[in-house]
Amino acid sequence: MPIPDDNTLEESPLLVDLYQLTMLQSYLDQQMLEEAVFEFFVRRIPENRNFLLFAGLEQLLAFLERTRFSQGELDYLARTGLFRRNLIDYLAGFRFSGSVHAMPEGTLCFSNEPIVRITAPLPEAQLIETRLINLLQFQTLIATKAARCRIAAPDAKLVDFGLRRAHGAEAGLLAARACYLGGFDGTANVLAGLHYAVPILGTMAHAYIQAHDNEMEAFRHFADSQPNNLILLIDTYDTDRGAHRAAELADTLLPKGVVVKGVRIDSGEPGEEAFRVRRILDQAGHPEITIFASSNLDEQLLQKLVRRGAPIDGYGIGTSLTTSSDAPFLNCAYKLQEYAGIPRRKRSSGKATWPGRKQLYRYLDSRGKIEYDWLCRETETTMDATPLLEPVMHNGCRLTPPEAPADIRHRVQQQIGTLPDSLLSLEPAPPLPLRISARLQQLAQDTDRRFNR
């Protein structure tokens, strides 16, 4: 297998914590190359979340299939003086040859549940830790946030406007994917249209209005160039006047067969503004012109607006969505559970884990709502439920083709339907019970006895 000249940032195996490589040096020196099992899980879901929607598996699998060290990266590592030749040679031939078990993307998950399990020779399983967490955490955060917005506004058009304030390029792109999975209708992010076939939506900025000598001229010019995509931004100078002009333009365009689809309001208190603008449009005989609101929205505001009956047909959600600003990270981890056939666990204060390879079963009540999850050893089975972790990669090769985002999005809606009412609330609710199998509890005791030295 040839060594690549160069790597994209996203595929580089050097986007890694240094300790992965210092540990690898020792694993190689000691010939500790046996099979290791790591699991990715969230220790405790954020206080202001009642569930998480797992996302990011597709990007993880693509990374595992493709990541290789480039010649420049190998040379750099050699230059650091931290490593010996045996490690550099190992890395030159590195490719991920292990197995992956995972929940399907779009599955609901909760605290302390294994979401992804990696089985691979110890150095390989270790090396991928940093990027695995980096990829899985982010989209899970955003898909979850998006699902909360969808719960708050079930019938509105929801569009991702958050690329500009996402944390960098990859965050912007993957946020657009994740929010689509979570239930959004589309994104303003054009590259997400190309990469993930997420519907793209967009109209005009204030700069467009300002660059013209007056607002009406700007509206007319936009109608000339985008007759099929005519949503007018009406708050640059005076929102009411902007609304009147939108109605006036609609009258003018009607004979030409051009339709003003909507107006956008991007400032002020959106409910107040929308009620006023709706009245203006209706009185002008244009009940068909929709109202689209943006600017500092999140699911809490959405819920308030919807409950108040604000006449808003669609929302652009930006920063709060793509940064998951009220919960910008997950207390998640990727921990060694077994090495060389022996279950292991960490016992650090507040961070203890359940040892060994595990499986998770979900129990639904008669109405199809989740009652509890059951965490057990991988070898345990039950007739009453199906296992949530499925094999998705073997010997470094995918077992199934990538899922279409639209299919994952569909799964999400089905999954949200299994949430009990309490967990559908945007406010914190008591957590879903996680039951631990007796055999797993026994294993934990045995493991502690074995490593108590």
Identify residues 314-333 at the interface with a second copy (CB under 8 A).
319, 323-325, 328-330, 332
Using the rule CB under 8 A, which residue among 1, 2, 154, 207 binds a second copy? 207
Strands 186-187 and 52-53: unpaired
Contact 197, 408 (CB under 8 A): no
Residue 415 CB-half CA count within 13 A: 27
**Which residue do the tokens 């699991």 mark?**
39
Within 75-94, the residues that bind a second copy by CB under 8 A are 76-77, 80, 82, 84
Judged by CB under 8 A, does residue 26 bind a second copy? yes
Judged by CB under 8 A, does residue 44 bind a second copy? no
User: What x/- string results for residues 409 through 428 when contact with a second copy is judged by CB under 8 A?
Assistant: --------------------
Q: Is residue 111 exposed (0-12), middle (13-18) or buried (19+ Cβ within 10 Å)?
A: middle
Contact 29, 348 (CB under 8 A): no
Judged by CB under 8 A, does residue 267 bind a second copy? yes
Give the shortest CB-357-to-a second copy separation in angstroms: 14
Judged by CB under 8 A, does residue 16 bind a second copy? yes
| Dist. CA 176–CA 179, nearest whole Å | 5
Give the shortest CB-2-to-a second copy separation in angstroms: 19
Residue 38 or 180 with smaller CB distance to a second copy: 38
Which among 29-37, 367-375, 380-388, 437-445 is the span making contact with a second copy, rule CB under 8 A?
29-37
Judged by CB under 8 A, does residue 22 bind a second copy? yes
Using the rule CB under 8 A, which residue among 154, 341, 350, 368 binds a second copy? 350
Taking residue 308's Cβ as centre, other Cβ atoms within 10 Å add up to: 12
Using the rule CB under 8 A, which residue among 50, 67, 112, 137 binds a second copy? 137
Judged by CB under 8 A, does residue 276 bind a second copy? no
Using the rule CB under 8 A, which residue among 193, 402, 420, 431 binds a second copy? 193
Which among 164-172, 275-283, 356-364, 366-374 is the span making contact with a second copy, rule CB under 8 A?
164-172
Locate 159 and state its tokens. 């569009």
Give the shortest CB-337-to-a second copy separation in angstroms: 9
Using the rule CB under 8 A, which residue among 98, 106, 172, 314 binds a second copy? 172
Using the rule CB under 8 A, which residue among 107, 112, 140, 203 binds a second copy? 203
Cα dihedral 366, 371, 372, 378, rounded to 10, equals 20
Contact 187, 179 (CB under 8 A): yes
Q: Is residue 214 exposed (0-12), middle (13-18) or buried (19+ Cβ within 10 Å)?
A: exposed
Residue 77 or 305 with smaller CB distance to a second copy: 77
Amino acid at 346: K
Judged by CB under 8 A, does residue 32 bind a second copy? yes
| Dist. CA 280–CA 243, nearest whole Å | 7
Judged by CB under 8 A, does residue 453 bind a second copy? yes
Judged by CB under 8 A, does residue 298 bind a second copy? no
User: What x/- string results for residues 97 through 136 when contact with a second copy is judged by CB under 8 A?
Assistant: -------------------------x---x--xxx-xxx-
Going by C-alpha positions, the residue among 268, 262, 227, 218 that lies closest to residue 243 is 262
Going by C-alpha positions, the residue among 163, 186, 165, 183 that lies closest to residue 174 is 163
Using the rule CB under 8 A, which residue among 143, 149, 317, 336 binds a second copy? 336
Using the rule CB under 8 A, which residue among 48, 97, 194, 283 binds a second copy? 194
Which residues are CB-contacts of 114 (< 8 A; sequence separation ≥ 6)? Answer: 39, 40, 41, 358, 359, 360, 375, 389
Contact 334, 129 (CB under 8 A): yes
Which among 68-76, 282-290, 302-310, 391-399 is the span making contact with a second copy, rule CB under 8 A?
68-76
Counting other chains too, the contacts that 186-193 makes at CB distance below 8 Å and 24 or more residues apart are: 186/159, 186/160, 187/159, 187/160, 187/163, 188/159, 188/160, 188/161, 188/163, 188/316, 189/160, 189/163
Which among 102-110, 220-228, 305-313, 408-416 is the span making contact with a second copy, rule CB under 8 A?
220-228
Which residues are CB-contacts of 428 (< 8 A; sequence separation ≥ 6)? Answer: 47, 48, 50
User: What x/- string results for residues 357 through 396 when contact with a second copy is judged by CB under 8 A?
Assistant: ----------------------------------------
Judged by CB under 8 A, does residue 29 bind a second copy? yes
